[in-house]
Structure 1
C-alpha cells in the first residue's frame, strides 16, 4: 500500500497506477449525481410510440442512473410491436442522445450493435420479419460520441451493458404479451372448431331426447344450440346466434 501522508507530487508512475487500480475496485464510492440529467420518462416514450406507430403493444423502461468514468447516465428504451408497423428484415431503430435524434451512421453505433445482438426469438419474435420499433435514449452529462459529427455513440462497456439490460427488461414484457396473445389465439381456434359442431351435436341430442317427435326435436335442438352458443360466445365475443349462423352458413330452419 501507500503511506497516507505521502504527498501527491512525490508519487511515482507505478504508485499512481496502483492507486488508480485500487479506486476501480473500491465499491463504496458515491456515484456521481444524476440530478442534472433530463430524461424523457417511460410514460411519454410509450405514449409517443403508440401515437406515431399505432402498435398492437408498446412498453417503455427508464433505468436507474449509472455512471461511466465518473459521468452519470440514464438509459431509456421503448419497444413497439405489431399494429400498423410495417414488417421488415430488421427492427426499426430510433436512437436519441440527450433527447436529440441521431440520424446518420446508424450501424456504427453501440445502440445498433446491442439491438442486432439481441436474440429476439427468445422474446417471442417469430420468423425472419420484424414488425417492431426499438427506441433507445441515452441521457448523460457526457455522451461518448465516436466523432465530432456526434451522430453515433461509442462502445463504452458500462453503457453497452446498461442498454442491453434495458432492452432485455422491456423485451421480457413484450414476451409476456406475445405468450398470452398466442395462448388466447389457440383457445379461440379450439372454440371456433367446437362451434362448427354445435348444430350436429344439438341435432343428435334432440333426436335422442324427443322420442321421435319432430316438433319437440326442433325445439330441443334450438334451445340446446342457443345454450351452447352462449357458453362459447362469451370468449369469442360473437354478438348473437344469427352472427354465428352466418359465420358457418348454418340453416336456422
Structure 2
C-alpha cells in the first residue's frame, strides 16, 4: 500500500492510500468537527461540519468521505470554515425544536457540545417550530423527532452493525425524517431486536430510553466500537 504525503494546516503528514482526510487529521492530532460521523459505521458526509479547504480546489470538501492524495494542502480551521460551521449549527437549531433545558440529553449532547466548541450562541435564522411527533410505542425506547438532526447514525448502525434494517429515511428536504419499518410505529416493527444500538449512536436526545428524565441520558460509544472490532478480528460471531 502506497503512502501519500500531504500537509494539514502547514504540518507535513504521511497517510496510507485510501485514508480519509478526517482519519489523517485525527492521526495528526488535528480536530475536525463532525456530527454524522461515528467510529465503526460508514461515512456519508451528511452534516457538512467537517468541510475543509484544499489548495487548488475551488470548493469545500467533506473530510469524512474525501481520501488523501499526494501533495494535498489541507486547511481545517480558516475563518471561512468557522463561519460555515457556525451557520450549519444555526440552521440545525432553527429547523428543529431543541429546548436543551428540558431535554434528556442536556449536557450530554453532541449538538450542544458542538455549539459551545464553535462559539455558536445564537441563530440569525427564524425558528421554524415544526410540528413533529414523539413515538413511544416501543416498550423500552422512544424517538422525539423534534430533536432529530438527520445525521442518520441510527439508520447506519442498525443496518451495518445490528443488521436489522429497522430505520430508514423518508421524505425530501425540510420534510425528510427517519422512519421505522415501512413508516410504522416503532413498537409495531417486528424486525427490531431492542438492542439499543440506535440509542447509543444518536448524538442528541432524539432517541432515548423510556423513563429517562432531564439531563439523565448517558451513552457508551465504546460498546459500538467493541462490536465492530470484535467482528473484524473474528473474536466471535453472531
TM class, shorter-chain normalised? Answer: under 0.3
Give TM-score scaled by structure 1 length. 0.22
Point out which structure has higher relative CO (alpha carbons under 8 A, 6+ apart): 2
Higher share of residues assigned helix: 1
Per the normalisation by structure 2, the TM-score is 0.23
